[in-house]
């Protein structure tokens, strides 16, 4: 095989000419018009383009993370993206014995109402968007209670919460809950948000976290669209009109280093989403057709070798995404291979976005690459490949069964193996890794920042332990009983009892334990670890 | 598994520590090692040092490999180094967050190797091979003595028995046959995830297994719940790290002639015997397929439950006979389908005194005096799940009341040419001829014939048990 291929394996020609791509402009359309290839519907008051500039944040206790938010906003960030530490992402409390060594080291520790209040203290929630990379029901409940506590009407809240019912267990966001409960949490939290926080995107389809283990763009977007379709069908089956929730769907995608393929992916996704919503789900409101897409640039594309090179990678990815016309952007910072972002890395990433926005004039014209024979050809090809992949997966059976059968887990496992092999065999070129490697003594620049570590936040663990002992017992217990009962009843709403329990000072770990108990499972997912394991596990 | 020189392949236990959920590195390195002839005992996420090392001891592994993507490893490193040192086995760390400083620290404290991001495969494989050599070269007596000192020894001793180290799911385990199977599997050293809808009775059954070398983990849930197979599989994987077999035994009876059996009863009988069994095969088979595709086929075994009613029909039990016939055919097709993932699928047609055979009346008490006691069936199930039956698949074994046999199955009859667009006159001539060639229809079972040795049923001479 000679000739180049895209990262997803699409054969590429040396150059593209009119004969290769007869442009049918009616199938492309103007920006802001169906099928939205060239950009989404813009509200009439929108200015001259631009996107929400934000960076992944959250570190240590809620108070420390709050300081981080303020620092980012002071640097000019226009939104906040918050991620929990490993215990929080697992819906476990920081004082659980398995959790203590991980408290606050990879994100913020959150387990109770007061944590959300401290996290968001004096953050202008009525003016900025808050994107949650947290277990969604708790993220929405926490933000709702924090807003209410500060006297803010939850109806003004904007932002998003990732909904990962199909893939979380296989992609590092395990909350140890069965599929049925994960799906109910998704549907109930979306319904709650539509009622209480109508400007909030409670259905953020996050294809970043599922794809950054080596998936290609076709795998990424087909899995993403599959999950969107599954959740949409279930929302409709509950009696929600598609136009009541579709405008509140957003997608957070990955951006790797094959820039044209990534731009084409976003254009193809906008078109696929528009067609799906209008033609399959029967949406009539143009806001339902127009996909809201934000991007998190790939952490896998970054290297621990020569970390300063990552600043360049982040910049070219951000430039490509600006040209793709995304609504929000987070750059994986140069120290990502080592840690959650340091202060200086945060500042550099925000400055990168600001330079692209303010100095390059790149967002003055929408879809500046539209009409390129190459890009339009790639967009069509990706649209077709993604669509085919979705249909093939839907033919295999219902999504819940595919989850149970390990079908998706196979995809994720094979992707990382494929990525490693491609790098080892030199098929994938990475500067500083497969070529232009320097000896360790010559690779010191920025390591003093990137390699700095901090201790788990033991003080926060102590704070939670002493607070737990002083809580009022009665209302707390009754509220947890209601969570358990709701979990056991497949027709019950989970969100109201969860919000009430969090409000009554129950912790996320306790509430999740009751969700498990309602399903006949042990409250503590590590019950097995407390006892002597007899694990014969030849594989 | 041995290599061309007859040497046992290197064996590596791999997992992540604590709440470090980023498993992709562990999976990728496992696949690499398997491709290069290693045996990998994959423990996935949520491990403690104790779990990793206990399994390594039990598995007689050469190396523990930890994939690191969060700083939690710092908190666990000392304990892990000490435990691996006690056992004299190798310890390797690998992962993207490991810096040059980590590497020198961990090596200085006794780790055998530390690999950072994008470490060269050739270099990793060379170092891992050297560690296996070193571990095996250390005096076996010294290693054994160390192992005795560690809690691994207790685990190993407790795992004695022909099924030691094997993990099985048994449904309907609270009473009758399922309870007898669970007890027998444990007696032979297996770990059993025991399931029943009756939680109280299940717990009682689990505790009654006593101190046998195996272990029981009761998981109460309704097997007709769509989530149940996943719950049971998860329980096996979380508690024991693997699953080697399934005994689908849960059953119930709704008796009645066709004209009287209502929809609710019919649905229940179908759900318990057919739908639930099918789902178990789909979910657990899917897991074994994934394991096989990842190069980690476990050599799994399934035992389904059919019945003489499903093979010969039972008077006035149309629903039960039909679902049990379905299970018998499911066994054959599933054996073909799952065979490609190195799983066997057989069925048992037990004759035993259980809640479903109330018409048998009370027995004389105790398996010693009662040939209908479920305890006589259990060793056959254990054999089907064990290493001796790896070549047996798609079979039904009829066992109980002092007899064991393998019934024949449907076979094509004598074929006659079918006249195109046959006329009524031709049909009148041909069909009696065809039916006559099939011989007489065997009689249905009744409580009377079922109690006998079924000599009233046609049984080909060659399938008679040899006289002893």
Q: What is the CA radius of gyration of chain A?
A: 23
- Identify the helix (H) or strand (E) that includes residue A420: helix A407-424
Q: What CATH number is given to the structural domain containing A234?
A: 3.20.20.240
User: What is the number of domains present in chain B?
Assistant: 2
| Same-domain check for residues B244 and B364 | yes
pLDDT at B39 exceeding the cut of 60: yes
| Same-domain check for residues B147 and B167 | no
| Same-domain check for residues B23 and B134 | yes
* Contact residues, chain B, for A214 at CB < 8 Å: 24
Helix B228-240 × helix B276-293 angle, to 10°: 40
Q: What CATH number is given to the structural domain containing B323?
A: 3.40.50.720
How are beta strands B39-47 and B63-67 bridged, if at all? unpaired
Distance of CA A346 to the CA centre of its chain: 18
Domain boundary among the residues B132, B156, B180 is at B156
Dist CA B216 CA B190 (whole Å): 9
| Same-domain check for residues B85 and B201 | no
| DSSP result, B88-132 | T-EEEEE-TT--HHHHHHHHHHT-SEEE-TT--HHHHHHHHHHHH
Query: What's the pLDDT tens digit per position in B263-288?
Result: 999 999 999 999 999 999 999 999 89
Q: What CATH number is given to the structural domain containing B105?
A: 3.40.50.280
pLDDT at A539 exceeding the cut of 60: no
pLDDT at B152 exceeding the cut of 60: no
* Confidence category of residue A48, pLDDT binned at 50, 70, 90: low
User: Has residue A174 been placed in a domain?
Assistant: yes
| Same-domain check for residues B61 and B175 | no
Domain boundary among the residues B121, B156, B191 is at B156
* Confidence category of residue A212, pLDDT binned at 50, 70, 90: very high
Query: What's the pLDDT tens digit per position in B19-38?
Result: 998 888 898 899 899 999 99
How many CB contacts within 8 angstroms connect chain A with chain B? 196
pLDDT at B462 exceeding the cut of 60: no
* Contact residues, chain A, for B287 at CB < 8 Å: 405-406
| Same-domain check for residues B335 and B361 | yes
User: Is B324 among the catalytic positions?
Assistant: yes
**Facing residue for B294 by CB, picked from A174, A413, A447:** A413
* Contact residues, chain B, for A410 at CB < 8 Å: 290, 293-294
Specify the pLDDT at position B458.
Answer: 39
| Same-domain check for residues B101 and B151 | yes
Lowest mean pLDDT among A186-195, B207-216, B283-292, B303-312: B207-216
| Same-domain check for residues B150 and B294 | no
**Mean pLDDT for chain A overall:** 93
Q: Which residue has the higher pLDDT, B235 or B186?
A: B186
Query: What's the pLDDT tens digit per position in B361-398?
Result: 777 777 777 888 899 999 999 999 998 898 899 999 99
**Mean pLDDT for chain B overall:** 85
| Same-domain check for residues B136 and B31 | yes
Dist CA B271 CA B359 (whole Å): 24
What would the mean pLDDT of A430-459 be, rounded to a whole number?
92
User: What is the number of domains present in chain A?
Assistant: 1
Question: What Cα–Cα distance (Å) separates residue A523 from each residue in A222, A393, A520?
Answer: 35, 34, 9
Supply the range of the domain harboring residue B322. 161-405
Could you tell me what percent of chain B has a pLDDT over 90?
A: 51
Could you tell me what percent of chain A has a pLDDT over 90?
A: 87
Specify the pLDDT at position B150.
Answer: 42
Q: How far is A384 from chain B (nearest CA, A)?
A: 28
Q: Are the Cβ atoms of A539 and B97 closer than 8 angstroms?
A: no
Domain boundary among the residues B156, B174, B191 is at B156
Partners of B15 in beta bridges: B44, B66
Specify the pLDDT at position B237.
Answer: 81
| SS3 at position A143 | helix
Supply the range of the domain harboring residue A370. 44-440
| Same-domain check for residues B264 and B397 | yes
* Confidence category of residue B297, pLDDT binned at 50, 70, 90: confident
* Confidence category of residue B148, pLDDT binned at 50, 70, 90: very low
User: Is B312 among the catalytic positions?
Assistant: no
Nearest-by-CA chain B residue for A211: B24
Q: How far is B259 from chain A (nearest CA, A)?
A: 34
pLDDT at A348 exceeding the cut of 60: yes
User: Has residue A514 been placed in a domain?
Assistant: no
Query: What's the pLDDT tens digit per position in B302-311?
Result: 999 999 999 9
User: Has residue A474 been placed in a domain?
Assistant: no
User: Has residue B458 been placed in a domain?
Assistant: no
Query: What's the pLDDT tens digit per position in B81-94?
Result: 988 988 889 999 99
Q: Are the Cβ atoms of A179 and B76 closer than 8 angstroms?
A: no
Q: Report ipTM for this prediction.
A: 0.90
* Contact residues, chain B, for A101 at CB < 8 Å: 18, 72, 74-76
What strand order describes the sheet that includes A159-162? A52-53, A328-330, A292-297, A249-255, A201-206, A159-162, A129-133, A79-83, A56-57
* Confidence category of residue B68, pLDDT binned at 50, 70, 90: very high
Dist CA A141 CA A507 (whole Å): 12
User: Is B320 among the catalytic positions?
Assistant: yes
What would the mean pLDDT of A468-496 be, rounded to a whole number?
94
* Confidence category of residue B2, pLDDT binned at 50, 70, 90: low
Nearest-by-CA chain B residue for A444: B100
What would the mean pLDDT of B412-437 be, rounded to a whole number?
92
């Amino acid at each position: 095989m000679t000739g180049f291929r895209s990262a997803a394996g699409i054969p590429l020609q040396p150059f593209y000419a009119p004969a290769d791509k007869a442009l049918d402009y009616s199938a492309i359309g103007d920006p802001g018009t169906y099928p939205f290839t060239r950009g989404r519907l813009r509200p009439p008051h929108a200015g001259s383009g631009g996107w929400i500039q934000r960076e992944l944040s959250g570190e240590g206790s809620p108070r420390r993370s709050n300081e981080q938010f303020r620092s980012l906003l002071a640097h000019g960030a226009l939104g906040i993206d918050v991620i929990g530490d490993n215990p929080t992402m697992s819906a476990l409390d920081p004082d659980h014995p398995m959790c203590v060594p991980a408290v606050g080291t990879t994100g913020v520790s959150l387990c109770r109402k007061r944590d959300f209040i401290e996290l968001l203290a004096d953050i202008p929630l009525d003016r900025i968007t808050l994107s949650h990379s947290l277990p969604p029901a708790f993220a929405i409940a926490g933000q709702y209670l924090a807003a209410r506590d500060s006297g803010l009407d939850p109806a003004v809240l904007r932002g998003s919460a990732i909904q990962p019912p199909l893939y979380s267990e296989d992609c590092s966001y395990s909350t140890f809950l069965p599929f049925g409960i994960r799906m109910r949490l998704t549907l109930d939290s979306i319904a709650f948000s539509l009622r209480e926080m109508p400007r909030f995107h409670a259905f953020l389809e996050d294809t970043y976290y599922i794809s950054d283990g080596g998936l290609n763009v076709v795998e990424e977007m087909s899995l993403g669209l599959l999950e969107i379709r599954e959740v949409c069908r279930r929302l409709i089956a509950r009696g929600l009109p598609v136009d009541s929730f579709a405008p509140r769907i957003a997608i957070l995608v990955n951006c790797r280093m094959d820039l044209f393929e990534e731009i084409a992916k976003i254009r193809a996704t906008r078109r696929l989403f528009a067609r799906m919503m209008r033609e399959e789900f029967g949406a009539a409101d143009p806001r339902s057709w127009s996909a809201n897409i934000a991007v998190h640039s790939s952490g896998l594309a970054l290297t621990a070798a020569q970390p300063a090179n990552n600043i360049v990678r982040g910049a070219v990815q951000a430039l490509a995404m600006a040209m793709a016309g995304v609504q929000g952007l987070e750059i994986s910072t140069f120290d990502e291979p080592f840690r959650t972002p340091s202060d200086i890395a945060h500042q550099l990433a925000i400055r990168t976005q600001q330079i692209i926005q303010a100095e390059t004039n790149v967002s003055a014209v929408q879809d500046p690459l539209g009409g390129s024979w190459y890009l339009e050809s790639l967009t069509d090809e990706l649209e077709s490949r993604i669509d085919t992949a979705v249909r093939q997966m839907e033919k295999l059976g219902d999504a819940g069964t595919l989850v149970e059968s390990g079908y998706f887990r196979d995809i994720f496992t094979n992707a990382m193996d494929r990525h490693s092999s491609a790098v080892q065999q030199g098929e994938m070129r990475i500067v500083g890794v497969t070529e232009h490697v320097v000896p360790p003594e010559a690779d010191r620049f920025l390591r003093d920042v990137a390699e700095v570590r901090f201790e788990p936040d033991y003080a926060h663990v102590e704070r939670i332990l002493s607070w737990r002992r002083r809580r009022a017992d009665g209302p707390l217990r009754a509220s947890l009983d209601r969570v358990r009962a709701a979990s056991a009843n497949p027709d019950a709403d989970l969100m109201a009892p969860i919000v009430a329990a969090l409000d009554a000072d129950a912790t996320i770990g306790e509430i999740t334990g009751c969700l498990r108990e309602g399903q006949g499972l042990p409250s503590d997912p590590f019950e097995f670890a407390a006892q002597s394991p007899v694990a014969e596990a030849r594989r | 598994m041995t290599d061309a020189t007859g040497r046992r392949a290197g064996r590596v236990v791999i997992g992540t520590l604590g709440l470090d959920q980023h498993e992709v590195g562990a999976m990728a390195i496992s696949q690499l090692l398997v491709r290069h002839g290693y045996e990998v005992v994959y423990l996935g996420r949520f491990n403690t040092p104790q779990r990793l090392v206990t399994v390594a001891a039990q598995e007689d592994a050469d190396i523990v490999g930890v994939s690191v993507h969060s700083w939690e490893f710092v908190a666990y490193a000392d304990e892990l180094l000490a435990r691996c040192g006690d056992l004299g086995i190798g310890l390797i760390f690998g992962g993207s967050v490991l810096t040059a400083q980590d590497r020198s620290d961990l090596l200085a404290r006794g780790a055998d190797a530390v690999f950072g991001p994008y470490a060269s495969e050739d270099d990793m494989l060379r170092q891992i091979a050297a560690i296996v050599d070193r571990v095996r070269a250390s005096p076996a007596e010294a290693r054994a003595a160390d192992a005795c000192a560690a809690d691994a020894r207790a685990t190993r001793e407790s795992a004695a028995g022909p099924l030691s180290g094997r993990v099985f799911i048994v449904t309907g385990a609270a009473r009758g046959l399922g309870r007898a199977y669970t007890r027998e599997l444990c007696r032979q050293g297996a770990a059993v995830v025991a399931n029943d809808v009756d939680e109280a009775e299940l717990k009682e059954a689990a505790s009654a297994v006593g101190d046998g070398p195996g272990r029981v983990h009761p998981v109460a849930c309704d097997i007709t719940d769509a989530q149940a197979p996943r719950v049971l599989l998860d329980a096996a994987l979380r508690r024991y790290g693997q699953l080697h077999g399934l005994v689908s035994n849960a059953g119930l009876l709704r008796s009645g002639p066709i004209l009287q059996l209502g929809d609710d009863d019919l649905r229940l009988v179908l759900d318990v015997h057919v739908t639930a069994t099918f789902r178990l095969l789909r979910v657990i088979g899917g897991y074994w397929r994934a394991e096989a595709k990842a190069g980690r086929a476990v050599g799994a075994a399934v035992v389904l439950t059919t019945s003489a009613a499903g093979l010969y029909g039972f008077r006035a039990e149309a629903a039960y006979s039909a679902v049990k016939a379905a299970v018998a055919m499911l066994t054959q097709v599933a054996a073909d389908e799952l065979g490609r993932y190195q799983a066997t699928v057989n069925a048992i047609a037990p004759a035993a005194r259980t809640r479903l055979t109330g018409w048998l009346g009370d027995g004389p008490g105790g398996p010693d005096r009662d040939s209908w006691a479920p305890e006589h069936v259990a060793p056959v199930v254990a054999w089907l799940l064990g290493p001796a039956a790896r070549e047996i698949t798609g079979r039904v074994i009829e066992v109980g009341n002092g007899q064991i046999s393998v019934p024949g199955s449907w076979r094509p009859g004598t074929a006659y040419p079918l006249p195109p667009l046959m006329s009524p006159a031709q049909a009148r001539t041909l069909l009696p001829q065809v039916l006559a060639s099939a011989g007489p229809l065997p009689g249905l079972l009744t409580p009377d014939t079922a109690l006998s040795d079924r000599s009233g049923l046609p049984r080909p001479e060659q399938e008679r048990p040899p006289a002893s």
